[in-house]
Structure 1
Amino acid sequence: MVFAFDPVGQGERLEYYDPKTGKSVIGGPTREHSYPGAQAFITGSSQARYMIWDGIRAVDYLLTRKEVDPERIGITGRSGGGTQSAYIAAFDDRIHAAAPENYLTNYRRLLQTRGPQDAEQNMFNIIYRGLDHPDFLIVRAPKPALMITTTRDMFSIQGVMETEQEVSKIYNVSGKVENFSRTEDDDVHASTKKNREAMYAFFQKHLSNPGNPADEEIQPLTREELKVTQTGQISTSLAGETVFSLNRKEAEDRVKELNELRKNSAVFLPEVISNSKQLSGYREPSSTDEPVFTGRIQRGNYAIEKYFIKGEGDYIIPYLLFKPVKPGKNVMIYLHPSGKSAEASPGGEIERFVNQGITVLAADLIGTGEMGPGALKGDAYFDGASHNLWYASILIGRSITGIQAGDVLRLVNLIKRDLSGAEITGFARKEMAPVLMHAGVFSNDIRNVILVEPYSSYKSIVMNRFYDPQFILSSVPAALNAYDLPDLAAAFAPRRLFISGTVDGNGATADNSDDLEIIRSAYKNRNAEDRLKIVTEGSVPEGWLP
């Protein structure tokens, strides 16, 4: 007996199906996995969790059938099916024999080659926790396992061989060396006759299946014959839950828990700061290198000086320093998602601040301007945003936001060192707002914050079936287990905070009053209502900064 089922986002289980076009409005299978998968990560869950559970329930169903021998259950699949085969067999010990195909390699070689794949293939902090691809087979040793591989696969063959060596050691120690093997063919990411026959032989040996391993020509059933639902899609035939709807229910529970914690702000807000540091993977800058000066431009009543400074890793932070002829004590760090040059032209937003005597440091944080977004796109690339890059940070227990916040504070340290007595203000537009708010609560040296067109909360991304994919890169995985963006703003009180034109998780103007009320309440409790200004549109008025 062979039991085949459609994973979510594939076949008859498209979760973003458009009946008018007969296609997914999101895109192919990897995008169908990654779009809700990003929301699951923010909630503290994962796409993999839901797909593993499908496999466990499939085994539950098989065991209700009288013709199924519970001691002779095997699993195989290729590519995403190889991912599921490896995961499900590792989590469900009722599976006796496993033969994942075209998936297993190791993280070292994966990151050196293609990088992380779609959300289905990523588990929360797995590298940070010391786990790797070989562990999916090691955990089930000495049960029978076969690695099905190809030499020109997109999953590194070098990583495959290294995983084989590591797993073999465990089977040797267990005294069941015959239960582990690998088959290899010279091909791309594909099923081959040689590998199929090796897989047939593997299951015949370890599940006592009858027959011979020769690959036979058959006439496949038509798509119509294979159709299970009346319309060909669960969404239009039976409706039911999706990964989004299930995750939204979990998010609602997380929000309720947060609302209870918010009732005791004296305890909760200090925890917000410590939890946001931990979950974002923030690392406090240990030192600030000397900046490298690369040129100067004279423009009217101010000069623009060009510099770069070393970031946390082996990269630089380029920045422009706008210096008025008669500078005041105010220094502004300016963050724009399109980079430091977006508003640097004559008549631009930066010039308006410089004309008020404010020195402005406009930076390209990693991933923006001259420092991004980089070459990696991946199979979860949405409208210019590589979610695959975000997944890489999740694997290692970090976040892009946490790394960028650390670099903001490098710039703060630089300002403190070179401009004694400066009143430091942070300015951020759109999806750079979460970066600045994290930096703001991590350091008391940022005395004022200005947010223009920020999205109101991580909750608003998770609760919207459709969200702006750009926002994902500035979100912190599992944040909703401990805090949300309004809590950062609340923890920033009683320092000055200006917010203009908040949007929801889809980038649309919406009623975000519940998020904003969290902030207003915090400032009221600190007797600092005069230091908070929230407007629906417009720029910070002159004279608002001290």
Structure 2
Amino acid sequence: MRPSLLVALATVLCWLNWISISCGQAQEPPTDTTNGDRLVAEYFELQTQELSEKSLAEIETLEDWTSRRETYRQQLLDMLGLDPMPARSELNTTVTGEARKDDVVVEKLHFQSMPGLYVTANLYRPAEVDEPLPAVLYVCGHGRVVEDGVSYGNKVYYQHHGAWFARNGYVCLVIDTIQLGEIEGIHHGTYREKMWWWNNRGYTPAGVEAWNCTRAIDLLESRPEVDPKRIGVTGRSGGGAYSWWLAAIDERIQAAIPVAGITNLQNHVVDGCVSGHCDCMYMVNTYRWDFPIVAALVAPRPLLISNTDRDSIFPLDGVVDVHAKVRKIYELYGADENLGLQITSGPHQDTQELRIHAFRWLNRHLRGDESLIEMAATKLFEPEQLKVFDQLPEDERVTTIHETFVPTATLDGEPDTPEKLATAAKNWKEQLRTKTFAAWPEETASPELNVVSKVQHGDAQVTFAEYSSQTPYRLPLIVCRPIQDSTNDPKAEQAGKNNQVDVVVLDQARWERVASGLAVVAPERFAGVQPDAEVWKRLTSLGRTTVWVAPRGVGPTEWSRDERDRTHIRRRFMLLGQTAAGMQIFDVVSALKALNNQHNKLAVSGPWNLKGSGDAAFLALHTSLWSDSIVELQLTDLPASNRESPDLLNVSRIVDLPQLVQMATGQVSTVVIDGITK
């Protein structure tokens, strides 16, 4: 059976088995697959395999690891939006009340991880504390507790963990997340809210959660009841993921137990588990990691990877794979005993079996206690007893933190001389290649270009060709050439614009329009398309040679039109350290390279006049920065800013549309936007 078919089968099985997700939403069956769906599935499989094979592959010795470890840590901080790290402002910790049950005291408190970024929390401690105690930060998953329209925070759902720790000699801080907390922020920017500009900004709510966790450790260290040298972290589902982020970036964590919070790229991308996770589960994968690298950053500190065997959104095979790869790092340290793997029977639930091993692990590594667990974790308090705010603060930034957490690029004026523009453009392009287009293949020979067929209709000849952009994509490149076009007459005396060839970048809507005209010429190539003679006339009315380029996801390679499917296709791209638009730009760059080097096959030659409209104008603008063969750039309906444009990773941290237009004017002889020459 072909690998792509295995991928499709695995995806279907994953859909059929999912009954819930970490965000508490039901799954839907997949729509019918198309050729475009099969191609993109094969592409995701190949890309995932490449990243998986590279993950930690260069590490052979402890020196290999330790020499790279800090670089990996800085990369993770960058991918979480924490480079540079925000200022550690005053926490302004405020205790709003206290409750007691038996020998457990719980304080209701809030702190500000940065001004206005409130974190609501419950701090559990024994009623009597005679000496500094070990402490645990418990990070909540998506456990919604709402009564009569009032959110009590997911800390209420997970209160039994905090109570158990307090009853057994710990201080435990249980913090709300920005999603499902008392102040309800957003984890679902790309998942549900179509906030694709989060990718442009390099923003992920995982970064906010990681930051809130580091500030929670600051709070624990400030408490007289806490021994700062004995602090651990645990949490499940979303809280499992945040446990990973915190333990990886903060050395103060002495023991970690992420429960159902990590698996590998294969599960997320190929098997489709990304559809079951909101954005808080992922860093913006700028440096193209597989998840074992995150786990390896915890080494050699005690780490227990904990999961169930029927967890449909953290499948067993991926969890075992992560453990096997990180085990190699622990072995290099000679710290095998500090790495554990617990798999118990069950679905994606907070089972007692998972809790017991977590309690024993923390007892062993924070207290040196190997005794049996004799006490169950039970809920002691009613939701209203744990609520922090009577009234939500007016200065809160939780609901809008995605707007400011990762700042945009600071651009001090526009370069006002050609020399300054050239210097700025060089710097911007280096950053774009590293942070935005890192997934582009390395420089290669000219893409293979093959002529499929030629047809003459009236005074025009149409050549249908294909070029290889990136495996498995062979993309259409269609040339319409007036038979008397002087462009291809070597004796032609006229130069300039009459010698130019229009290269038009198509989006799906414009592909369909062009296809209706071309169906007049080659109906057999456009089955199901209604031929339109008027469109054909307009396509040939200028009397100039035109080349149409359809990047991946457009025309013959269009993937599903189901909105939900398209959302998770776009999210898969991000998990691979790219975006659909970023790879479409690569496709157009590749098309120009094929035209430059193999134009004789098409009986056409440049210089090229690159054109696009709407989102295709955005693709054409970026393409112009990476090709030296464009003499004129004609753009219509160009988006006004990155925020309104197709998403490109981190681009707003580097440069915005006005600066990109400036760069194009330094690269291309003539830039025309909406009929105005720049």
Question: What TM-score comes out, normalization by structure 1 length?
Answer: 0.74
Deviation at 1:222, TM superposition (A): 4.8
State the one-letter code of the partner of 2:218: D
SS in structure 2 opposite 1:71?
Answer: strand
Retained in 2: the 8 A contact 1:126–1:132? Answer: no
| Structure 2: distance between partners of 1:149 and 1:186 | 9
Deviation at 1:218, TM superposition (A): 3.6
Aligned counterpart in structure 2 of residue 268 of structure 1, from 410, 424, 431 = 424
Determine if the alignment matches structure 1 residue 147 to structure 2 residue 305. yes
State the one-letter code of the partner of 1:113: D
| Structure 1: distance between partners of 2:371 and 2:444 | 64
Q: How does 1:242-261 map to 2 (within 5 A)?
A: 242-247=400-405, 250-251=407-408, 254-257=409-412, 259=413
| Structure 2: distance between partners of 1:119 and 1:89 | 19
Name the stretch that deviates more: 215-224 or 239-248. Answer: 215-224
Deviation at 1:398, TM superposition (A): 11
Deviation at 1:92, TM superposition (A): 1.2
Which residue of 2 is the match for residue 318 of structure 1? 476
Retained in 2: the 8 A contact 1:284–1:406? Answer: no
| Structure 1: distance between partners of 2:353 and 2:534 | 64
Deviation at 1:243, TM superposition (A): 2.6
Which residue of 2 is the match for residue 360 of structure 1? 546
Q: 1:246 to 1:338 in 2, by over 3 A?
A: same
Write the deviation string for residues 324-379 of structure 1: whole angstroms up to 9, x where unpaired: 3443534322223216632213367775342111232223211222223369988x
Q: 1:384 to 1:157 in 2, by over 3 A?
A: closer
Aligned counterpart in structure 2 of residue 341 of structure 1, from 503, 507, 511 = 511
Q: How does 1:118-133 map to 2 (within 5 A)?
A: 118-125=278-285, 127-128=287-288, 131-133=289-291
Determine if the alignment matches structure 1 residue 436 to structure 2 residue 610. no
Name the stretch that deviates more: 447-456 or 165-174. Answer: 165-174
Q: 1:11 to 1:265 in 2, by over 3 A?
A: same
Q: 1:358 to 1:420 in 2, by over 3 A?
A: closer
Deviation at 1:125, TM superposition (A): 4.7
| Structure 2: distance between partners of 1:217 and 1:51 | 25
| Structure 2: distance between partners of 1:245 and 1:168 | 39
Aligned counterpart in structure 2 of residue 426 of structure 1, from 597, 605, 610 = 610
Which residue of 2 is the match for residue 134 of structure 1? 292
Retained in 2: the 8 A contact 1:308–1:319? Answer: yes
Determine if the alignment matches structure 1 residue 455 to structure 2 residue 625. no
Computing the radius of gyration over CA atoms, which structure comes out larger, 1 or 2?
Answer: 2
| Structure 1: distance between partners of 2:375 and 2:476 | 59
Retained in 2: the 8 A contact 1:142–1:176? Answer: yes
Retained in 2: the 8 A contact 1:404–1:435? Answer: no
Q: 1:217 to 1:66 in 2, by over 3 A?
A: closer
Aligned counterpart in structure 2 of residue 106 of structure 1, from 264, 267, 276 = 264
State the one-letter code of the partner of 2:180: Q
Aligned counterpart in structure 2 of residue 491 of structure 1, from 654, 663, 667 = 663
Q: How does 1:196-235 map to 2 (within 5 A)?
A: 196-208=355-367, 213=373, 216=376, 218-219=378-379, 221-231=381-391
State the one-letter code of the partner of 2:555: G
Which residue of 1 is the match for residue 677 of structure 2? 533
Deviation at 1:88, TM superposition (A): 0.2
Deviation at 1:310, TM superposition (A): 1.7
SS in structure 1 opposite 2:610?
Answer: strand
Deviation at 1:54, TM superposition (A): 0.8
State the one-letter code of the partner of 1:309: Y
Determine if the alignment matches structure 1 residue 369 to structure 2 residue 369. no
Aligned counterpart in structure 2 of residue 4 of structure 1, from 174, 177, 182 = 174
Retained in 2: the 8 A contact 1:15–1:32? Answer: no
Deviation at 1:14, TM superposition (A): 2.5
Determine if the alignment matches structure 1 residue 195 to structure 2 residue 354. yes
Which residue of 1 is the match for residue 338 of structure 2? 179
SS in structure 2 opposite 1:164?
Answer: helix
Retained in 1: the 8 A contact 2:191–2:568? Answer: no
State the one-letter code of the partner of 2:179: G
Deviation at 1:102, TM superposition (A): 1.3
Deviation at 1:84, TM superposition (A): 0.6
Q: 1:110 to 1:45 in 2, by over 3 A?
A: closer
Q: 1:50 to 1:432 in 2, by over 3 A?
A: same
Retained in 1: the 8 A contact 2:637–2:674? Answer: yes
SS in structure 1 opposite 2:479?
Answer: strand
| Structure 2: distance between partners of 1:81 and 1:167 | 20
State the one-letter code of the partner of 2:270: Q
Retained in 1: the 8 A contact 2:330–2:339? Answer: yes
| Structure 1: distance between partners of 2:544 and 2:671 | 17
Retained in 2: the 8 A contact 1:288–1:413? Answer: no
Which residue of 2 is the match for residue 22 of structure 1? none
State the one-letter code of the partner of 1:91: I
Which residue of 2 is the match for residue 73 of structure 1? 231
Determine if the alignment matches structure 1 residue 83 to structure 2 residue 241. yes
Q: 1:223 to 1:350 in 2, by over 3 A?
A: farther
| Structure 2: distance between partners of 1:487 and 1:93 | 40
SS in structure 2 opposite 1:196?
Answer: helix
Q: 1:246 to 1:348 in 2, by over 3 A?
A: farther
Question: What TM-score comes out, normalization by structure 2 length?
Answer: 0.61
SS in structure 2 opposite 1:73?
Answer: strand
Retained in 2: the 8 A contact 1:110–1:156? Answer: no
State the one-letter code of the partner of 1:280: F
Deviation at 1:148, TM superposition (A): 0.8
| Structure 2: distance between partners of 1:149 and 1:105 | 10
Retained in 2: the 8 A contact 1:9–1:32? Answer: no
Q: 1:38 to 1:47 in 2, by over 3 A?
A: farther
Which residue of 2 is the match for residue 165 of structure 1? 324
**Where in structure 2 are there 5+ consecutive unaligned residues?**
1-170, 488-499, 517-531
SS in structure 2 opposite 1:342?
Answer: helix
SS in structure 2 opposite 1:10?
Answer: coil
Deviation at 1:46, TM superposition (A): 4.7
Retained in 2: the 8 A contact 1:106–1:133? Answer: yes
| Structure 1: distance between partners of 2:346 and 2:331 | 29
Retained in 2: the 8 A contact 1:285–1:409? Answer: no
SS in structure 2 opposite 1:361?
Answer: strand
Q: 1:456 to 1:34 in 2, by over 3 A?
A: same
| Structure 1: distance between partners of 2:535 and 2:374 | 71
Q: 1:135 to 1:267 in 2, by over 3 A?
A: closer
Q: 1:433 to 1:277 in 2, by over 3 A?
A: farther
Q: 1:321 to 1:402 in 2, by over 3 A?
A: closer
Name the stretch that deviates more: 268-277 or 365-374. Answer: 268-277
Retained in 1: the 8 A contact 2:449–2:598? Answer: no
| Structure 2: distance between partners of 1:347 and 1:189 | 58
Retained in 2: the 8 A contact 1:144–1:180? Answer: yes
Percent identity over paired residues: 21
SS in structure 1 opposite 2:577?
Answer: helix
Retained in 1: the 8 A contact 2:502–2:609? Answer: yes
SS in structure 1 opposite 2:326?
Answer: helix
Q: 1:269 to 1:165 in 2, by over 3 A?
A: closer
| Structure 2: distance between partners of 1:213 and 1:350 | 78
| Structure 2: distance between partners of 1:95 and 1:398 | 39
Which residue of 2 is the match for residue 332 of structure 1? 502
Deviation at 1:455, TM superposition (A): 0.8
